[in-house]
């Protein structure tokens, strides 16, 4: 295995581990940090799989999108928007 394949394998293992933690965690708010780890691992994998300048845009779009979803879920559980 070359260094990219090893990096991809580690990203995949960490994403799977975080997915299990999401499933095992009962508290929805505490699921979100584990979900964040999955987003990191997948954004990294996108660029490792497709080493092209536009892959940066894809990874950033995926990351910002998933962050915004987590933000929306958390804000909804907190009782809706306060000043945002």
Partner 1 sequence: MPADPLHILIAALVCWLNFVTIDILFKLPERGGVSGAEEIGRHIEKGGGALHGGYMMGNIVSSPDASAGTLLASCGVYAAGIPGGLLAALLVYIGNRICHDPGYAGTTGCITATLIVYGFTLIGFSAADFIIGMVIAILTIQGISHVHASRLLSTLWRWREG
16 touches partner 1 by CB under 8 A: no
CB 35 within 8 A of CB 24: no
Instruction: Write each residue from 45 to 84 as x if it is in contact with partner 1 (CB under 8 A), else as -, in one continuous string.
Output: -xxx--xxx-xxx-xxx-xx--xx-xxxxxxxxxxxxx-x
24 touches partner 1 by CB under 8 A: no
Angle (deg, nearest 10), helices 3-24 and 28-49? 160
Distances (CA, A) of 14 to 47, 52, 57, 60, 81: 16, 23, 23, 19, 32
Point out which residues bind partner 1 (CB under 8 A): 1-4, 6-7, 10-11, 14, 17-18, 21, 27, 29-30, 32-37, 40-41, 43-44, 46-48, 51-53, 55-57, 59-61, 63-64, 67-68, 70-82, 84
């Amino acid at each position: 295995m070359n260094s990219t394949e090893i990096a991809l394998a580690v990203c995949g293992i960490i994403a799977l581990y975080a997915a299990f933690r999401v499933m095992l965690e009962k508290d929805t708010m505490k699921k979100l940090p584990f979900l964040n780890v999955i987003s990191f691992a997948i954004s990294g994998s996108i660029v490792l799989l497709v080493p092209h300048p536009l892959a940066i845009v894809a990874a950033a779009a995926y990351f910002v999108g998933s962050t915004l979803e987590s933000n929306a879920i958390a804000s909804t559980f907190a009782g809706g928007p306060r000043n945002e």
